[in-house]
Amino acid sequence: MARAVVNVPPKAKRGDIIEIRTLVGHVMETGFRHTQTGQPIARNIITQFVCTYNGAEICRSDFSPAVAANPLLIFTTIATESGTLEFKWTGDNDFVMTASASLAVE
Amino acid sequence: MTTRREFLAAAGALLVTLHPRESDATPAMMQEAVRKVVGDAQIRTGKVKLDLPPLIDNGNVVPLAVAVESPMTPTDYVKAIHVFNERNPQPNIISVYLGPRAGRARITSRIRLADSQTITAIAQLSDGSFWQTTQDVVVTVAACAEEIS
Amino acid sequence: MRLVTTLLIASVAGLLIGRLDAHAGEVPLQDRRSGYEFMSPETRAMQDDEVANPATLWILDGESLWVRKAGTANVSCAGCHGDADKSMRGVAVRYPAFDPDEGRPVNLEQRINACRTGAQQAAAFPYESRELLALTTYVARQSRGMPIDIKIDAQLQPFLERGRASYERRQGQLNISCAQCHDQYWGKKLAGNPIPQALPTGYPLYRLEWQSLGSLQRRLRNCFNGTRAEAYPYDAPELVELELYLMWRARGMKLETPAVRP
């Protein structure tokens, strides 16, 4: 039941810098933990995040095991035109999560 | 009721915890990770601001903000922000790739820190230059070494 | 977890040497402070912001579960209760509540499972399962900001007394009681973190230590482990009695669900 939450203002003026806040549900198992009996727990993390704005990449990130569980990433972009922001997280064990948000620019 | 075995295991764990782990990253590992990103370029100090709480509630979830002074125009902008550490099991934390469309070079996330240590943030600018800053943090509860109970 | 538990034992033992004979009274009502006030500004900001608060992920799951038909009765929560923001407002602040069918208090998780097995004719969700946590948090969230409203009548009085006795009883290899840390030493540091007053104003909550959302019973079981006592199993009546006492301790304080705590 992993999910993602993205927060983009629904509208903005052309040229405004808007803040984009993203949260994705993921355990981000580091690969450095062990069970009580000493068995290693395999790494299971998100490795990459990409955000596109009407198809153009505006932000990309490489996550390591040092990114906390349920990763949060907040960044900005200039509101250039109305359209769609697409978000995609990929990682170990073929993990893929996507989200999208609409932005109206006047 | 706690068994004798569990009690001895706890006593043993207390002794074991007094010895440092061999699997931690070292400053040398961090330098190598930095070189992979920066190559032979000189890293200048400045332009980068790291925001980490000086005293941390829990090393599992540490708020991090990095901001870089830059006009963020198509000819003068921040290409990437890289964050490194020297005491977690591995030296990388996060890399974020921006561009002139970002408007501002500022990112926020949450990270894990295994121990009190120095964190380094390096900004890569469009002109090929690298700038860095560091911050010391005190972590009272370690993140990466946790065992499932 | 072992390392933390071991450090905790060492810290508590050191803290209490020489004070084992002290008896503490409850924190006076006007001196009560939520665990929120003992946290750093950054952790508080995490609680206050819907996107930064990871519990939002569970609330979204709860929202889906609320409208999902289940069981042989093939009915969803919404089928009987309509919109949760209307029907569930004011519910969580009254729990644990007396259940006449059970003849004892039940907590919100148990109430939800009673609907699962009764009205929906579906299997109960296991305690601390993702589904139960999601639904409980979603329901409790509808009361966020409202004062905790536990009223003790003649029916609930004996259960409250048992919960309070549990709270005041020395237990575990460390032979300490909840009261000793949370009534006597609140505000002082233990393993680097300030000791709060045992006022569960924000459950279920996202605990940084767990890197996940969990129930009050999960937290209580951590405390039992911390004193090196055997923890009651999930769903145990002893835990519900303790929850009743603790929520009654927090009466009048605002519900913060879903909270964030270190």
* Catalytic position from the list C115, C178, C181, C223: C223
Q: Pick the range with the lowest mean pLDDT from B16-25, B31-40, C31-40.
A: B16-25
Q: Name the domain count of chain A.
A: 1
State the pLDDT confidence band at C136, using cuts at 50, 70 and 90.
Answer: very high
State the pLDDT confidence band at B141, using cuts at 50, 70 and 90.
Answer: low
pLDDT in tens, B65-105: 999 999 999 999 999 999 999 999 999 999 999 999 999 99
Instruction: Looking at the structure, give the CATH architecture of the domain made up of residues C2-10+25-49+149-261.
Output: Orthogonal Bundle (1.10)
Q: How far is C32 from B2, CA to CA, in rounded Å?
A: 34
pLDDT in tens, C195-223: 999 999 999 999 998 999 999 999 999 88
Residue C223 appears among annotated catalytic residues: yes
Work out the end-to-end distance of chain B between its first and last CA atoms, rounded to an integer number of angstroms: 16
* Contact between residue C121 and residue C73 where contact means Cβ atoms under 8 Å apart: yes
Q: Which of B10-19, B133-142, C140-149 has the highest mean pLDDT?
A: C140-149
pLDDT in tens, C143-201: 999 999 999 999 999 999 999 999 999 999 989 999 999 999 999 988 778 899 999 99
Chain B: give the shortest CA distance to residue A49, in Å.
Answer: 9
Chain C: give the shortest CA distance to residue A70, in Å.
Answer: 6
Instruction: Looking at the structure, give the CATH architecture of the domain made up of residues B24-139.
Output: Sandwich (2.60)
Name the segment(s) of chain C with CATH classification 1.10.760.10: 2-10+25-49+149-261, 56-141
C29: pLDDT strictly greater than 50: yes
Residue B50, strand partner residues:
B66
Using CB atoms, which chains have 3+ pairs under 8 A with A?
B, C
State the pLDDT confidence band at B44, using cuts at 50, 70 and 90.
Answer: very high
Q: What is the mean pLDDT of residues B120-137?
A: 96
φ/ψ of C38, rounded to 5, equals: -95, 0
* Contact between residue B94 and residue A64 where contact means Cβ atoms under 8 Å apart: yes
- Angle at the Cα of C201 from the Cα atoms of C197 and C206, rounded to 5 degrees: 100
Torsion angle (degrees, nearest 10) of CA C129, C131, C132, C135: 150
Chain A: give the shortest CA distance to residue B146, in Å.
Answer: 6
Q: Amino acid identity of B9?
A: A
Q: What is the mean pLDDT of residues A27-53?
A: 94
State the pLDDT confidence band at A35, using cuts at 50, 70 and 90.
Answer: confident
CB contact under 8 A, A66 and B148: no
The domain C56-141 belongs to what CATH superfamily?
A: Cytochrome c-like domain (1.10.760.10)
Q: What is the mean pLDDT of residues C216-233?
A: 91
C21: pLDDT strictly greater than 70: no
Task: CATH number of the domain at A13, please.
Answer: 2.60.40.10
* Contact between residue C87 and residue C41 where contact means Cβ atoms under 8 Å apart: no
Using a CB-CB distance cutoff of 8 angstroms, which residues of chain A are in contact with residue B117? Answer: none
Q: Is the complex ipTM more than 0.90?
A: yes
B8: pLDDT strictly greater than 60: no
State the pLDDT confidence band at B1, using cuts at 50, 70 and 90.
Answer: low
Q: How far is A53 from C123, CA to CA, in rounded Å?
A: 44
Q: Among A6, A7, A23, select the one facing C57 at the smallest CB separation.
A: A23
Q: Using the Cα atoms of residue C37, residue C41, residue C42 and residue C47 in order, give the sign of their dihedral.
A: positive
Give the number of beta-carbon pairs within 8 Å between A and C: 39
* Contact between residue B45 and residue B132 where contact means Cβ atoms under 8 Å apart: yes
Mean confidence (pLDDT) of chain C? 91
Predicted local confidence at residue C227, as pLDDT: 86
C69: pLDDT strictly greater than 60: yes
Q: Is C235 left (phi over 0), alpha (psi -120 to 50) or beta?
A: left
Using CB atoms, which chains have 3+ pairs under 8 A with C?
A, B
Q: Among A1, A23, A72, select the one facing C61 at the smallest CB separation.
A: A1
Domain range for A51 is 4-105
Predicted local confidence at residue B17, as pLDDT: 42
Predicted local confidence at residue C1, as pLDDT: 58
Work out the end-to-end distance of chain C between its first and last CA atoms, rounded to an integer number of angstroms: 14
Using a CB-CB distance cutoff of 8 angstroms, which residues of chain B are in contact with residue C225? Answer: 149
Predicted local confidence at residue B148, as pLDDT: 37
State the pLDDT confidence band at C26, using cuts at 50, 70 and 90.
Answer: confident
Q: Pick the range with the lowest mean pLDDT from B48-52, B56-60, C15-19, C189-193.
A: C15-19
Predicted local confidence at residue B12, as pLDDT: 46
Q: Name the residue with tokens 């009272």.
A: B140
Buried b (16+ CB within 10 A) or exposed e, B14-44: eeebeeeeeebbeeebbeebbeebbeeeeee
Predicted local confidence at residue B18, as pLDDT: 40
Q: Specify the pTM.
A: 0.87
